[in-house]
Amino acid sequence: MKRCRLVEWLRIWESGWIMSHHFIMSDQEGSSAIAKQEAPEFSALEYQGWSGQALEASGVFCFILKVKAGGDEFPMHADAAAWLGYVVSGSGELFSGNAAGDKLEAVAFAAGDFITFEPNTQHAWKNGPDESKILVVKVA
């Protein structure tokens, strides 16, 4: 089978964006074809009130964070990869910090904001008064 190219459609429901299907566009000897798969389910994360939905295809890793109102603060952490985030719905605070877990700065985020995480950037999250959904992607 030839290498497939990913086309993901995020469907807007009354509760906000979630992945409901995964459509895969592929080249079939000069013509394109479409395959449809169910999107993965949300899975609980280690912190109360946080869950996620992940998909990796065509060299891109996509993750949707869903945070309930009143969810635990996500502690200071970093990743070796660069990430790009988009706040689909909700609001909260994003913290900069250090590996000891100290918070150095805070900024409010809200629906429509983009957030770039350069490699090894320490950060933490605190959700606002409503449920939030945040889409983050990185090169796989």
Distance CA 92, CA 69 (A): 10
Task: Give the other-Cβ count within 10 Å of 114's Cβ.
Answer: 10
End-to-end CA distance of the chain: 21
Residue 27 has phi, psi (to 5 degrees) of -85, 125
pLDDT tens for 15-33 read 445 667 888 899 999 999 9
pLDDT tens for 34-90 read 998 887 777 877 788 898 888 888 899 998 899 999 899 999 999 999 999 999 999
Q: Which residues contact 82 (CB under 8 A, 6 or more apart)?
A: 116, 117, 118, 119, 138, 139
Residue 124: pLDDT band by 50, 70, 90 thresholds?
A: very high
